[in-house]
Amino acid sequence: MKPDQALDRFLLRKIEQQLTAEIQTAREQALKSSTEEEGLRASEALERALQRFADFAGQGIVPEEFLRCAGR
């Protein structure tokens, strides 16, 4: 979803923190993976997390689940 001007800076900061946490979790899983299959899944999860953060930071695209949680 494109940026919503009604979202306040506190909510935007919370979204940024959650997306950053997703990246960190995915990175940790990639490092802990012990099989090739686990590594592949973890790598894909990390790629998705990085793309979601890049979309948010670069284009202001807010993932739908954050808007639903905010009651929008």
- Cα dist. 21→9, 47, 49 in Å? 18, 14, 9
**Chain position carrying tokens 């940790």:** 28
Q: Where are the domains of the chain?
A: 9-69
Q: What is the mean pLDDT of residues 36-52?
A: 95
Residue with tokens 């590594």: 39
pLDDT at 72: 53
What's the confidence (pLDDT) of residue 16? 95
The rounded distance, in Å, linking the Cα atoms of 60 and 5 is 10
- Residue carrying the six token digits 């929008």: 72
Alpha helices in 3-54 (DSSP H): 9-32, 36-54
pLDDT band for 33, please (50, 70, 90 cuts): very high
Mean pLDDT across the chain: 87
**Residue 70: alpha-carbon gap to chain centroid:** 16
